[in-house]
Amino acid sequence: AWIRKKRNDPPTTEEILKNEHYREEIKVKMKEVYEKDKLLQAKEYKEGIVAESAHTRVKGHASAPYYGKKEPSQDPTSTASTFQPGSWMPPGSSGSHDK
């Protein structure tokens, strides 16, 4: 604030130390909250309350308008400006329709 001319006098050494201590406390609290949340998510995943997030697999090059064969896939895919959500496959199906 003093550098931006929002206050007339420079901060005292005590104020600077107090601000640094406050920043360190916030960092520690943030880390604790992050760890608690991570443990809670792991517990919820284990209990089946929450599904794990699906990852989108990028196939081909970002500037390519079309890449590869267009077969249904269980995994969501993203190519250039298109997005193809994953499709449901019956258990034991390998993705091909051979009879």
Q: Is residue 95 part of a domain?
A: no
Q: Is residue 60 one of the residues assigned to a domain? A: no
This prediction has a pTM of: 0.42
CA–CA distance from 28 to each of 24, 33, 34, 80 (Å)?
6, 9, 10, 41
Domain membership flag for residue 1? no
33: confidence class by pLDDT, cuts 50, 70, 90: very high
For the record, the structure tokens of 4 come out as 């931006």
Domain that holds residue 15: 11-49
pLDDT at 45: 81
Taking the C-alpha atoms of residue 84 and residue 93, their distance in angstroms, rounded to an integer, is: 20
Residue 79 in domain:
no
Q: How confident is the model at residue 44 (pLDDT cuts 50, 70, 90)?
A: confident
Counting the structural domains of the chain, the total is 1
